[in-house]
Amino acid sequence: MQVIASGAVEGPLSSDPWQFQAICVDAFVASWQARGFSPVTVDNDIGLLERTLTALGWPAGEVTPDDIDRVVGDLAVQGRKTSTRREFV
């Protein structure tokens, strides 16, 4: 959706879920930058977000609890620390 000056909401910016997700991630990054977050913080968190979305293998809107369990389980099998697995969640 897109908020416009009158406060009304227009339809989706894209019907492609991957493209819509990319638009949302870009808006998320822009909001953090506008609020003055450190570039290092933004880069680190966006890197984690991108790794998580890639590991899930689906657009965020289609992710199920089973997908989260699969990713966390894969990280455990790889020997990743509990704190790392928690960050992905």
Tell me the pLDDT tens digit for each residue of 37-83. Answer: 999 999 999 998 999 999 999 998 899 999 999 999 999 999 999 99
DSSP designation for 60? G
Say how far apart CA 38 and CA 32 lie, in whole Å: 9
Please tell me whether the overall predicted TM-score, pTM, comes out greater than 0.75 for this model.
no
9, 1 contact by CB (below 8 A): yes
Write down the pLDDT at residue 3: 53
> Which residue from 14, 18, 15, 23 is spatially nearest to 53, judged by alpha carbons?
18
**What confidence tens digit (pLDDT) does each residue in 15-41 have?**
889 998 998 899 889 999 999 999 999
Domain spans of the chain, in order of start: 2-88
